[in-house]
């Protein structure tokens, strides 16, 4: 039987980063992924993920983000790939909306560089936006977006370079902690493996039988839309158009990205809180006309020239926790297993530092990062399958 120091189950955003960090520290790593590299059935596809700090009201998240930025830049140097594009970030809405008021508060409290913009200044700097007179903007110059598929591939590349054995199209069927207390056994259709530690990073499969996590996750379907701007993509290019969050009057909050995929690629937008309960097995991957029209109506209000033809739409999966904070720590029932899941629609930006934390926990049982907010034991109730707790 093949034995390893650490087995990483699930090689998406978090698992690829963990495999990289562990292998770079000299661990003998086996990585198991049920699908292909950087596939589009989980939570880490679609070309772009926002990275910004003013979203957060807890200092712990902001501290982690400082380290995440460093590690993303380090991964760029190691891989020679461009993974992080800084565009600045604009949140636009009424000043009393929690996203605007909370963004300002966190910027002031945590010393995050920012500016307040009035509607004229928003229009002058970023002509595609159409703020109403009672809206304001909070602009964060250090914000931008990550390229998720390239980032996952870069982490996997580094893991392999440091000797990790990465196997794709090989699902974990089950795992168990061995009675000796210091090893785990993992079973796949291709074999049985043992290791001192298991890192479990299953994404939206966290409620599946293979993960064995009885935690109150709620899996949800969300949609990403790509619209072709009327009049061309030039005003939407990354050197002049920021990542953004818009809160239209009486509408749904949505966020979006510059047009970074060339003249035919459009610009991507998505609702923050429009989602429907599902599982990875039951998700409807088709996107209906009504969903597209709902988004177009929101664009017509806030970004009128982006309300052109919808050229693509894709579904994706959120794994929400009841408090929307992550789950990172030792498995409640098995000290040999470390878990990272429940990233609640805002985890990608942290993946680089989550990889570091998982490597710390797997190798020594502790980490210098403050992860108290993410304790797997904080939930008193059992699994809440199919519930979207906050919508």
Ligand X SMILES: Cc1cc2nc3c(=O)[nH]c(=O)nc-3n(C[C@H](O)[C@H](O)[C@H](O)COP(=O)(O)OP(=O)(O)OC[C@H]3O[C@@H](n4cnc5c(N)ncnc54)[C@H](O)[C@@H]3O)c2cc1C
List of residues contacting ligand X (CB under 6 A): 9-15, 32-35, 42-44, 46, 49-50, 171-172, 201-205, 210, 222, 224, 270, 316-318, 341, 343, 345-349
Q: Which secondary structure element, helix H or strand E, spans residue 73, and what is its range? A: helix 59-79
The beta-carbon contacts of 333-337 under 8 Å, at least 24 apart in sequence, are 333/177, 333/212, 334/177, 334/184, 334/198, 335/177, 335/181, 335/365, 336/177, 336/181, 336/182, 336/183, 336/184, 336/196, 336/197, 336/198, 337/175, 337/177, 337/184, 337/197, 337/198, 337/199, 337/200
Q: To the nearest 10°, the Cα dihedral for 4, 215, 209, 47? A: -70
Nearest approach, Cβ of 375 to ligand X (angstroms)?
A: 17
Nearest approach, Cβ of 315 to ligand X (angstroms)?
A: 8
Nearest approach, Cβ of 350 to ligand X (angstroms)?
A: 7
Residue whose CB is less far from ligand X, 201 or 321: 201
Using Cβ positions, the residue closest to ligand X within the complex turns out to be 12
Nearest approach, Cβ of 100 to ligand X (angstroms)?
A: 18
Q: What is the largest CA-CA distance in the chain?
A: 68
CB 349 within 8 Å of CB 65: yes
DSSP per residue, 95-110: TTSHHHHHHHHHHHHH
> How many other β-carbons are positioned within 10 Å of the β-carbon of residue 366?
10
Residue whose CB is less far from ligand X, 231 or 288: 288
Nearest approach, Cβ of 48 to ligand X (angstroms)?
A: 7
Residue whose CB is less far from ligand X, 17 or 117: 17
Nearest approach, Cβ of 21 to ligand X (angstroms)?
A: 14
Determine the Cα–Cα distance for residues 256 and 242; give it in Å rounded to an integer: 9
Residue whose CB is less far from ligand X, 104 or 354: 354
Residue whose CB is less far from ligand X, 110 or 343: 343
Q: What is the DSSP letter of 301?
A: H
Determine the Cα–Cα distance for residues 105 and 138; give it in Å rounded to an integer: 11
Nearest approach, Cβ of 246 to ligand X (angstroms)?
A: 14
Residue whose CB is less far from ligand X, 126 or 350: 350
∠ CA 85-249-113, nearest 5°, is: 35
Residue whose CB is less far from ligand X, 27 or 319: 319
């Amino acid at each position: 039987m093949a034995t390893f120091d650490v087995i990483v189950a699930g090689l998406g955003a978090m698992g690829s980063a963990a495999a990289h960090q562990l292998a770079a520290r000299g661990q003998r790593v086996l990585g198991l992924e049920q699908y292909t590299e950087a596939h589009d059935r989980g939570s880490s596809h679609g070309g772009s993920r926002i990275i910004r700090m003013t979203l957060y009201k807890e200092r712990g998240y902001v501290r982690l983000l400082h380290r995440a930025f460093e590690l993303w830049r380090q991964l760029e140097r190691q891989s020679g790939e461009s993974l992080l594009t800084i565009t600045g970030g604009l949140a636009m809405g009424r000043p009393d909306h929690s996203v605007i008021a909370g963004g300002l508060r966190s910027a002031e409290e945590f010393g995050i560089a920012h500016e307040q913009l009035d509607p004229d200044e928003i229009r002058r700097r970023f002509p595609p936006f159409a703020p109403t007179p009672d809206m304001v903007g909070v602009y964060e110059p250090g914000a931008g977006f990550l390229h998720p598929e390239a980032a996952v591939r870069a982490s996997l590349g580094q893991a392999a370079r440091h000797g990790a054995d990465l196997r794709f199209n090989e699902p974990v069927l089950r795992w168990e902690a061995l009675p000796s207390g210091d090893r785990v056994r993992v079973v796949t259709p291709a074999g049985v493996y043992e290791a001192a530690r298991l890192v479990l990073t299953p994404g939206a499969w966290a409620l599946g039988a293979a993960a064995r996590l009885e935690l109150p996750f709620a899996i949800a379907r969300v949609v990403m839309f790509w619209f072709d701007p009327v009049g061309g993509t030039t005003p939407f290019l990354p050197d002049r158009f920021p990542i953004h969050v818009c809160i239209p009057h009486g509408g749904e909050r949505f966020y979006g990205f510059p047009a970074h995929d060339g003249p035919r690629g459009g610009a991507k937008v998505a609702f923050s809180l429009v989602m429907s309960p599902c599982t990875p097995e039951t998700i409807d991957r088709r996107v209906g006309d009504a969903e597209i029209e709902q988004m177009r109506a929101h664009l017509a209000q806030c970004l009128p020239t982006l309300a052109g033809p919808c050229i693509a739409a894709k579904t994706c999966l959120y794994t929400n926790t009841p408090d929307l904070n992550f789950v990172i720590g030792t498995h409640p029932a098995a000290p040999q297993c470390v878990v990272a899941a429940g990233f609640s629609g805002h985890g990608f930006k942290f993946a680089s530092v989550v990889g570091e934390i998982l490597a710390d926990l797997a190798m020594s049982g502790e980490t210098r990062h403050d992860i108290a907010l993410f304790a797997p034991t904080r939930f008193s109730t059992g699994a809440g399958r199919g519930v979207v707790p906050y919508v």
